[in-house]
Structure 1
Amino acid sequence: MRPAACFNARVNTAYDVVAVFCGGDGRHGNPLGVVRDGRSHPDEASRQAFAKRLGFSETVFVDDPERGVVDIYTPGVRLPFAGHPLVGTAWLLDLEVLNPPAGEVWARSDGEFTWITARAAWAPERTLRQYASAGEVDALDVPPPGEWIYAWAWEDEAAGRIRARAFPGRGDGIDEDEATGAAALLLTARLGRALNITQGRGSQLLTAPGPDGTIELGGRVREIRR
């Protein structure tokens, strides 16, 4: 188990920060806050307030590290499932199973990658919008709030390589999501094949369809020190 990285004296809460789905050079990735002791924020209102204060796209509260019971929040809403928080928490706490509200999620490590096995049906609804080229995706402006849009295009269809950007549209300060595991699951389920996704400024997400409708989602994780 890795040491705690941060301590927020103003709210008296210890928490870690990791970057999830980093690129091959170790850069980028989506920042994630992990509160190892969920008892420090015992109710939903205080958790939501803390997640908003941190300002990451998601923050995880660990309620039972032995059974992997976790609770996930954006700055504005509670989520039953999200990909990058589960990959990051599995790496940080060396967990083999996680239990968010959506269901049991198995995790494994494979060299530099951490993987979870989940179902696309657990992912929140997203608009998957295909573009003709990666250049078109790169040129997109942030759309106005109102719709969660996952913009994507083939970089190399034969190789399963995709360029993507994600716009949550919630109006909570997260205009663009650097790496979005749930959306990657939805796109993998739609296309029915393994994918190698470059998202945001240079994050990398890997997916692979499994048996019985499951999908593996994997990526690199690194600790952020502040």
Structure 2
Amino acid sequence: MTAPVTDYDVLRVFCGADGRHGNELAVVRDGADVADPGERQVLAGKLGFSETVFVDDPERGVIDIYTPTLRLPFAGHPCVGTGWLLDLPELVTPAGVVGVRLDGEFTWIEAMAAWAPPRTLRQYGSAEEVEALEVPPAGEWVYAWAWQDKAAGRIRARAFPGRDDGIGEDEATGAAALLLTDRLGRALNIAQGLGSQIMTAPRPDGLIEVGGRVRLDGQESA
């Protein structure tokens, strides 16, 4: 099966304060260009981003998310990036309705921790230990983290998807940050990867907010 030629936007989500880094994301604004799920999976694999989003209804915010090898009911950085791009108050994912709000330089989503795919949250004793880690063998999705400043809620993290799809490490991972926030029960300021920043905050109603900066790198065709 061959994916059709289509246009897509390339975003970087969870950029640092200097506008650099962040996790790349492809967004196909016209999901009808690639309507078949098999074709979507082929295109996501061809593009090679950690996630590719297909927008099925740009007015209601209905989206479909794929990694290079599988479909996801929910993912953090695709929702943050697509929410910023479409400028809508909510997105509709297979997992549930994701609230979106833009606040200055940050775009925030609100979601349930139960929507996030399983992750192994592995704590280390120091940020230096996290920074020294080698990419582990495929087979387990690991979110490695350590406190940088516990009183201030500052964390150093790295993410290893373990999917054997060519992406050994994710630069910034909203779903894992959501799960860690749910476990710790407090707002976090996460420095991940080479220079990405993820902000989180639990809410009394059980939802968790995840926010970050988004940049548009341009539009391409495949």
| TM-score relative to the length of structure 1 | 0.95
Structure 1 match to 2:99 = 106
* Unpaired segments ≥5 residues, structure 1: 1-9
Q: Which amino acid aligns with 1:155?
A: Q
1:149 maps onto 2:142 in alignment: yes
* Residue among 11, 21, 36 paired with 1:43: 36
Structure 2 match to 1:199 = 192
Q: Secondary structure at the match of 1:172?
A: coil
- The aligned length equals 217
Q: Distance in 1 between matches of 2:26 and 2:88?
A: 17
* Residue among 16, 28, 31 paired with 2:21: 28
Structure 1 match to 2:113 = 120
Deviations 1:121-158 (A, max 9, x none): 10000000000000000000000000000000000000
**Structure 2 contact 4–33 (Cα < 8 Å) conserved:** no
Aligned pairs for 1:52-131 (under 5 A) are 52-131=45-124
Structure 2 match to 1:6 = none
Q: Per chain length, whose mean CA-contact separation is higher, i.e. which structure has more relative contact order (CA < 8 Å, sep 6+)?
A: 2
- CA shift, 1:11, in A, is 4.1
* Unpaired segments ≥5 residues, structure 2: none
Structure 1 match to 2:207 = 214
Q: Which amino acid aligns with 2:206?
A: G
Q: Secondary structure at the match of 2:88?
A: coil
Deviations 1:14-44 (A, max 9, x none): 1000000000000000000000011111111
Deviations 1:70-112 (A, max 9, x none): 0000000000000000000011111111001000011000000
Task: Give the superposed CA RMSD.
Answer: 0.9
**Structure 2 contact 146–156 (Cα < 8 Å) conserved:** yes
Q: Secondary structure at the match of 1:185?
A: helix
Percent of residue pairs identical:
73
Q: Distance in 2 between matches of 1:22 and 1:11?
A: 31
Structure 1 match to 2:127 = 134
Q: Distance in 2 between matches of 1:145 and 1:82?
A: 20
Q: Secondary structure at the match of 1:224?
A: strand
Q: Distance in 2 between matches of 1:153 and 1:11?
A: 43
Q: Distance in 2 between matches of 1:102 and 1:127?
A: 20
